[in-house]
């Protein structure tokens, strides 16, 4: 690789986070650009390229993209948060950055790579990462490399059916994991509940429920919140054990806001998963841990993408 900085770019709907990442995986320079859905694709790429070039000599630049990428061409299928559809970011960047190597991956995959290289999955060879947010993102690292499946687009664990005859999902199917185990589903259960504790929390927050309220109410031993949390953890454990049954990872890393719940989530979750995996005494059961890098995971992972491509 040419001399210069490794740059990681985490593309989000509200902001673009750019970082120069040193060989020891520390982010040593940062720039944040505002972003919104109304900014045209070409204008946004120009701004990003200029910000990157202002950081000095660049060895490579990696992007975490909130979209599926078409295998091979890596054209963005549809980055809903950015309003970008069928965009070729590599081609557009070339106008400004010439032959500088550009690496692209899904943003969830970049976060998993970041946690692998410098976070909760450091020194682990195979790792499953799930990000519990609006939906459920997921990535699998196999022998230190990012596994993107036969078709090269990566995992869609949020749309594995775990409850045939269950809740309808926005994708058109019934009973997808993300209708039960995303942060959104927890928020919806809080909203739907007639627990006075949860109702008070919601009204004190200007009528806006969130996932954290369920953990807080459960910590106050609210019976309705306890039940919601119990079911949430049971469903999440089904999803995780289904994935362990096919990937057999050494560790499972959980990202997204929900992972901040700590022991309240991880202790019962680990127990539930242990009960669901095959032969845990003989084969072992992966440990389930929270992600630790937060937003930095995406920047670090994007900057180091070339090291983990299969």
In the DSSP assignment, the letter for residue 81 is: T
Please measure the distance between the N-terminal and C-terminal CA atoms of the chain and give it in whole angstroms: 18
Minimum separation from the CB atom of position 289 to a copy of itself (A): 15
Instruction: Kindly give the pairing relationship between strand 251-255 and strand 127-132.
Output: parallel
By CB under 8 A, the residues from 67 to 86 that bind a copy of itself are 68, 70-71, 77
Query: Alpha carbon of 54 to those of 26, 40, 211, 215, 238: distances in Å?
Result: 19, 21, 40, 44, 47
Query: Alpha carbon of 269 to those of 129, 178, 304: distances in Å?
Result: 15, 16, 31
By CB under 8 A, the residues from 217 to 256 that bind a copy of itself are 234-235, 238, 241-243, 245-250
CA 80 to mean position of chain CA atoms? 16
Minimum separation from the CB atom of position 198 to a copy of itself (A): 24
**How buried is residue 278: exposed, middle or buried, by Cβ count under 10 Å (0-12/13-18/19+)?**
exposed
Q: Please count the residues of this chain forming the interface with a copy of itself, following the rule CB under 8 A.
A: 52
Q: Map residues 257-276 to x or -, x wherever contact with a copy of itself holds by CB under 8 A.
A: -------------------x
Minimum separation from the CB atom of position 278 to a copy of itself (A): 5
- Interface residue with a copy of itself among 114, 157, 209, 298 (CB under 8 A) is 157
Minimum separation from the CB atom of position 102 to a copy of itself (A): 22
- Interface residue with a copy of itself among 33, 153, 227, 292 (CB under 8 A) is 153
| Choices 21-29, 87-95, 119-127, 214-222; region in contact with a copy of itself by CB under 8 A | 119-127
Contact criterion met (CB below 8 Å) for 276 and 236: no
Residue 152 within binding range of a copy of itself, rule CB under 8 A:
yes
By CB under 8 A, the residues from 170 to 199 that bind a copy of itself are 171, 173, 175
Residue 163 within binding range of a copy of itself, rule CB under 8 A:
yes
Closest CA to 121 of 303, 306, 300: 300
Return the residue matching tokens 């309220």. Answer: 213
Residue 282 within binding range of a copy of itself, rule CB under 8 A:
yes
Minimum separation from the CB atom of position 2 to a copy of itself (A): 29
- Interface residue with a copy of itself among 98, 150, 206, 207 (CB under 8 A) is 150
Question: What is the per-residue DSSP string for 197-260?
Answer: HHHHHHHHTTT---HHHHHHHHHTT-HHHHHHHHHHHHHHHHHHHHHHHHH--SEEEEESGGGG
Residue 284 within binding range of a copy of itself, rule CB under 8 A:
yes
Residue 309 within binding range of a copy of itself, rule CB under 8 A:
no
Contact criterion met (CB below 8 Å) for 187 and 266: no
Q: Which residues bind a copy of itself (CB under 8 A)?
A: 68, 70-71, 77, 125-127, 138, 140, 142-143, 147-157, 159-166, 171, 173, 175, 234-235, 238, 241-243, 245-250, 276, 278-279, 282-284, 310
């Amino acid at each position: 690789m040419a001399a210069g900085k490794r740059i990681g770019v985490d593309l989000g709907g509200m902001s673009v986070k750019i970082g120069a990442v040193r060989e020891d995986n520390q982010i040593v320079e940062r720039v944040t650009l505002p972003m919104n859905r109304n900014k045209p694709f070409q204008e946004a790429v120009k701004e990003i390229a200029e910000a990157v070039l202002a950081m000095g000599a660049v060895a490579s630049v990696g992007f975490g993209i909130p979209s599926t990428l078409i295998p091979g061409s890596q054209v963005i299928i549809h980055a809903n948060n950015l309003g970008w559809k069928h965009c070729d970011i590599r081609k557009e960047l070339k106008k400004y950055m010439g032959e500088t190597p550009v690496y692209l991956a899904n943003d969830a995959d970049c976060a998993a790579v970041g946690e692998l290289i410098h976070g909760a999955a450091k020194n682990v060879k195979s790792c499953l990462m799930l990000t519990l947010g609006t939906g459920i993102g997921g990535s699998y690292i196999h022998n230190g490399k990012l596994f993107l499946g036969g078709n090269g687009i990566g995992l869609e664990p949020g749309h594995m059916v775990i409850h045939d005859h269950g809740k309808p999902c926005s994708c058109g199917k019934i009973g997808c994991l993300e209708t039960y185990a995303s942060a959104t589903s927890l928020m919806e259960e809080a909203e739907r509940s007639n627990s006075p504790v949860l109702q008070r929390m919601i009204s004190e927050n200007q009528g806006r429920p969130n996932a954290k309220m369920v953990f807080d109410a459960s910590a106050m031993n609210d019976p309705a919140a306890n039940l919601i949390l119990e079911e949430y953890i049971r469903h999440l454990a089904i999803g995780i054990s289904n994935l362990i049954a096919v990937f057999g990872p050494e560790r499972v890393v959980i990202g997204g806001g929900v992972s901040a719940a700590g022991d309240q989530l991880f202790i019962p979750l680990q127990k539930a998963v242990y009960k669901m995996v095959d032969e845990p005494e003989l084969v072992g059961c992966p440990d389930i841990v929270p992600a630790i890098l937060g937003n930095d995971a995406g920047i670090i992972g994007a900057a180091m993408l070339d090291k983990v491509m299969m």
